[in-house]
Structure 1
Amino acid sequence: MNPVNPVNSGSSGSSGNGGGVVRTAFAAAGPAPGADADPITTEIVRQGLNAAADHMKRALTRTAFSPIIYEALDFAVAFYDTDMCMLAQAPTLPAFMGTLGFCVRAAVEGVGGPGSLAPGDVILYNDPYGTGSHPQDAAMVVPVFAGGELTAYSVIKAHWLDIGGKDPYSTDTLDVYQEGTIFPGVKLYDAGRLVGDIYRMILANSRMADMVIGDINAMVAGARAGGEALAAIVDRYGKAEFTACVARMYAHGEALVRDWFAALPDGVYTASGAIDSDGVSGVPVPFSVKVTVEGTRIEVDLTDCPDQTPGPINCPLPSTVAACRLAVAFLAGAGEQPNEGHFRPLDVLTRPGSLFHPRRPAPCFMYGIPADHAIELVLAALAEAVPDVPAASGGDINALVWWGEREATGTPWTDGAPHPVGQGASPRGDGAGALMYLSQSATRLTPAEVWEARNPWRIERMALAEDSGGPGTHRGGPGLDLSFRCLEDHYLTSALARTRTAPWGRAGGHAGRPGGLTVEHPDGTVEEHALRTRIPLAKDAVVHLRTGSGGGFGPPSGRDPQAVQADLREGYITEEHARRHYPHAL
């Protein structure tokens, strides 16, 4: 079924850590596989797989201990066939989805391969170079047996609150060993029996062991529930018919995306940008993307980038591939829940030893920063060929992670979340306000009531930011303003990644605002932060978060005066802003 197959395609002539180019691609599709499968049965199987994945998601959220899972939905759930091709997923964290094939493959290899698996096994895997993430993003892989035969894998990858890194969340690590305890594919359950040594190792390497163990149990329960639901589908139709339906399902997804790219003009499209900092040096990190459209295929080339950096913004190959898949799905997915077939037309070129294909032990805790930047640049590059591509969004997940010990009990606590940004405007209309960035688009903003009930904060402001959306014929979506008052002493890690580069407009539209974070200390001092680990916060300190907005589309002079008046009435813009950018409407 054409599994992921990184192929060394020869020397790139690069220097430093790089020594060639790796093409991550699918084998060319052969004759329409599964063409003899009944289309109605195929659709029933497809929807059944989607429903089973959703069942797995609900089992996890209803039993998890941490708001980062059951409120923010910082996890992914999916099924993979024995060739590590994605059968189905539930709408969860998009950034994790493209990584799970790599993750399942590495997890299974870590325990000795498919022949070492038995019913009741659960594999724990969190090596960043296989998951594409930091060690806190751990996976539970359950082999699914139907009729006594290994048929598929049920997998959940979710963020644990702590797994023994130098800090619960770090922007300044210098190697992967500072980032957390690594489990390189080990059985947590062996034929249904808990492996006590592994369980005790987890407990011994977490500041928040009770919460983490609660979430692990929820992940195991969810992955098992999903596996049981998948096995029931296979048993209902039989292995042969199920396999034929899956092949036809993959072929349909592939044809859908190929048809979309076939309508585009062939060509090479490029875009360049820069990351604010690697978290250590404070120096911007520039890179470029090159997107080649040829017939029904698309190639994303990320070799024009720096060597792997000293700081933790290195993006392991699985997350690099996932970022490219997200950009393609955003444009060509037709609103469908994707399967592996949707990504067959995509090739990704990387250079080992570089920002987008680092070598161990390069730190990669903030891997999501270059991945998110790459998504924006792939879309910007294709804007020349695809008129509907919107202006830039806030382009950042604005992650904040808080921790300390509760004043009354001394009990350790931690919490964290992404925060919404404004979306870019398009030829069709204004950008949406305060939605999670594309890579986190299925996640949710934790309700203030939950935050305040669990954590020593008070939310003093949560509002769409006036005047923040990029002006244009269609304006960018506003960002969000949040103010947290600290009720006890604790620490904060700020992982803001786009505080210098304003989200660009398109077709004459103006830029939006970048993000930012200000801390007002009780002694009256004020500090600005972007990527910063372990900021000390005293009781009565106030943290002000400003998330980025979307860029505008088209010149502001073309905006409908009635739309400007509506924005004034609704409080999206002030009169001063309207006079500066839309004088024709006043």
Structure 2
Amino acid sequence: MTRTVRTVFAAADPGRGAGADPITTEIVRQGLNAAADHMKRAVVRTAFSPIIYEALDFAVAFYDADMCMLAQAPTLPAFMGTLGFCVRAAVEGVGGPAALNPGDVILYNDPYGTGSHPQDAAMVVPVFVDGTLTAYSAIKAHWLDIGGKDPYCTDTLDVYQEGTIFPGVKLYDAGRLVTDIHRMILANSRMADAVAGDIDAMVAGARAGGEALAALVERYGRAEFDTCVARMYSHGEALVRAFLAALPDGEYTASGTIDSDGVGGVPVPFGVRVTVEGSRVEIDLTGCPDQTPGPINCPLPSTVAACRLAVAFLAGAGEQPNEGHFRPLEILTREGSLFHPVRPAPCFMYGIPADHLIELVLDALAEVVPDVPAASGGDINALVWWGRREAGEPWADGAPHPVGQGASRHGDGAAALMYLSQSATRLTPAEVWEARNPWRVERLALAADSGGPGRFRGGLGLDLSVRCLEDQHLTSALARTATAPWGRDGGLPGRPNRLVVEHPGGRIEECALRTRIPLAKGAVVHLRTGSGGGYGHPGRRDPEAVRTDLREGYITEEHARRHYPHAL
């Protein structure tokens, strides 16, 4: 019998922050956010790979000595719930807090502790103030390659095929580079120069963040800093509890289907149960299917992150989160299942079930939270390209791609934004792509008619066409290709995600989850990202809004006559 696990977060001590001055507390909170942003900027300015400095596929955060989240800069939201697991596992891997020294930098990328594939590597820097371990500065970023069977995989059969694992090792020991570890990293990468540059950027960023955090603690003194942090946590907790307490108690459910596990080609259905009781919420995933043979298994840290994101989306009031925001949340999982796999289950495509989970938690609560929008494109549409240039040097690049957002009772969905789990990332400019890679971007446009019709229209998806100027390979990590984004309150569905390869000679090939697609020089890759579902019956749409959409090219006349005849 598999074990059920309940994940809860640190309970509040109501007395710790009682004496904190509210103005000083707010200054400390904003100081932490500013220090985290300083760390983010240091990484962006020094990183080697566009996936970091352009797409912003990384996250930075601070944790206190008890490994509770102090602050996170606006970076990759999907890592929001995982960095705490990274810090804890990294420190345990080197012998615990007692084994740490000023100047240490710990490397950790075990998927069962990071919640990600091995390419998402974490750097953890202990922060000492007056010789006492006070906090941790952490960065998690995507490396272009770390020695998996392919630079990006959708068909792995165990975690050992997915990349070289560093289960908590010191990259710097008391300020000195551990050259054996550094050499081992680079020896297991197809893109050693890029990875070396990104390692330097992460170390510099984590150290810069740690210095800014230490200066903030020194400014107020450890005792006052701790008191302000305790009050800050209590405020975040109270904010979320007030939101939950206003909802009717009850159990709310939703279900969905993942296209495939990447290996068997068989759809994977699952459901979620959300229970609201007083000022707490429980997300129960124990009824989900067993872990799959293919790599869509979602390790516990990313399951936690997805649940945190869904709650923060509804109840966070737009604040940058801290540990207190998540104290009202409890998560039930079952070991050996899709959302709590056990080693050596493959988990390279962990983000697919995590993104589905976010949508389903929101869908479950839509019954009692009227602000929940219709479904979005629901996937990050990750594409990773690599090969050897005709001159001989290796290259690789990858990025998420934006989708249309669901409409809500407040208005139309936003067009072509990154999905919620990647909402702080960016689409790399075509000029950067063409300067660094053997491509030509032939089309990059909002997709007319793609948004789900409704009183409020779903956001448009994106049409992207890229011509290959040299032979290369592509891994397509698309999900939600078989399920159209649903509408709400009578709104109609949007379009699902789609990828088509037009090979030289005219052969057309549809791809979704596919590793190492060979692309000959002259091939054209057409990505059609999903759109948002509509909200409300289309017959209730303001005729002037329809005419504006026509003028702007968001819809065609044929589409308007089919769905909005009252406006014509």
Answer yes or no: same fold by TM over 0.5: yes
Task: Report the counterpart of residue 207 of structure 2 in structure 1.
Answer: 224
For 1:187 and 1:517, the matched residues in 2 are separated by 41
Task: Give the Å deviation of 1:21.
Answer: 1.1
Helix, strand or coil for the counterpart of 2:46?
coil
- Residue type matched to 1:569 in 2? R
Do structure 1's residue 237 and structure 2's residue 237 form an aligned pair?
A: no
User: 1:347-380: per-residue Cα shift (whole Å, max 9, x none)?
Assistant: 0110000000000000000000000000000000
Partner of residue 413, structure 1? 395
Question: Which blocks of at least 5 consecutive residues in structure 2 are unaligned?
Answer: none
1:300 to 280, 283, 297: 283
In structure 1, the gaps of 5 or more residues are: 1-14
Q: 2:481 matched to which residue of 1? A: 499
Q: Distance in 2 between matches of 1:480 and 1:167?
A: 27
Match 2:188 to one of 205, 208, 213: 205
For residues 311 and 73 of structure 2, the distance between their equivalents in structure 1, rounded to whole angstroms, comes to 18
Total equivalences in the alignment = 568
Instruction: Say whether residues 1:524 and 2:506 are aligned partners.
Output: yes
Correspondent of 2:79 among 93, 96, 99: 96
Aligned pairs for 1:238-317 within 5 A: 238-317=221-300
* Cα displacement string for residues 309-367 of structure 1 (whole angstroms, at most 9, x for unaligned residues): 00000000000000000000000000100100000000011000000000000000000
Counterpart of 2:350?
A: 367
Query: Is 1:173 equivalent to 2:156 in the alignment?
Result: yes
Distance 1:421 1:507 in 2: 21
Is the counterpart of residue 387 in structure 1 residue 370 in structure 2? yes
Letter in 1 for 2:32: L
Give the corresponding residue for 1:541: 523
Which digits, 9 at most, give the CA deviation of each residue in 1:259-315, with x for residues without a partner?
A: 011111111000000000000001000000000001100011111111000000000
Task: Report the alpha carbon displacement of residue 27 of structure 1 after superposing the two structures with TM.
Answer: 4.6
CA distance in 2, matches of 1:72, 1:404: 20
Partners of 1:138 and 1:303 in 2: CA distance: 29
Aligned partner of 2:143 in structure 1 is 160
The alpha-carbon deviation at position 26 of structure 1 amounts to 2.1
Q: Which residue of 1 is the match for residue 177 of structure 2?
A: 194
- Are 1:79 and 2:65 counterparts? no
Deviation per CA, 1:80-120: give whole Å up to 9, x if none. Answer: 01111000110000001110111100000000000000000
Aligned structure 1 segments of 4 or more residues deviating by more than 6 angstroms: none
Cα distance, 1:20 vs. partner? 2.2
Per-residue CA distance 1:460-495 (angstroms, 9 max, x = gap): 000000100000000100000000000000000000
- Structure 2 counterpart of 1:572, from 529, 532, 554: 554
Letter in 1 for 2:396: T
2:463 to 458, 477, 481: 481
> Identity across aligned pairs (percent)?
85
**1:133 aligned partner:** 116
| Residues 510, 247 of structure 1: alpha-carbon distance in 2 compared, 3 angstrom cutoff | same
- Counterpart contact for 1:32–1:251, Cα < 8 Å: no
**AA aligned opposite 2:30:** Q
SS of the aligned residue for 1:51 comes to: helix
1:450 corresponding residue in structure 2: 432
Between 137-146 and 33-42, report the one with greater CA deviation: 33-42
Number of the residue aligned with 2:454: 472
| TM-score relative to the length of structure 2 | 0.99
| SS in structure 1 of the partner of residue 410 of structure 2 | coil
Report what 2:540 is aligned to.
558
The one-letter code sitting in structure 1 at the alignment partner of 2:500 is T
Task: Specify the alignment match of 2:312 in structure 1.
Answer: 329
Q: Determine the C-alpha separation between the residues in 1 that align with 2:14 and 2:177.
A: 45
What is the match of residue 182 of structure 1?
165
CA RMSD of aligned residues (A): 0.6
Task: In structure 2, give the amino acid aligned to 1:433.
Answer: A
Query: One-letter code of the match for 2:437?
Result: N
Determine the C-alpha separation between the residues in 2 that align with 1:202 and 1:524. 41
- The question of 1:353 aligning with 2:336 is answered yes
* 1:489–1:537 CA contact under 8 A, matched in 2: yes
Matched, 1:43 2:43: no
Say if 1:270 and 1:289, in contact at 8 Å, map to a contact too.
yes
Secondary structure of the structure 1 residue equivalent to 2:28: helix
CA distance in 2: counterparts of 1:161 and 1:564, whole angstroms = 44
2:138 & 2:80 partners in 1: Cα distance?
A: 11
Whether contact under 8 Å (1:272, 1:289) holds in the other structure is yes
> Residues of 2 paired with 1:385 and 1:422: CA distance?
24
Q: Determine if contact 2:454/2:537 at 8 Å carries over to the other structure.
A: yes
TM-score (norm. length: structure 1): 0.96
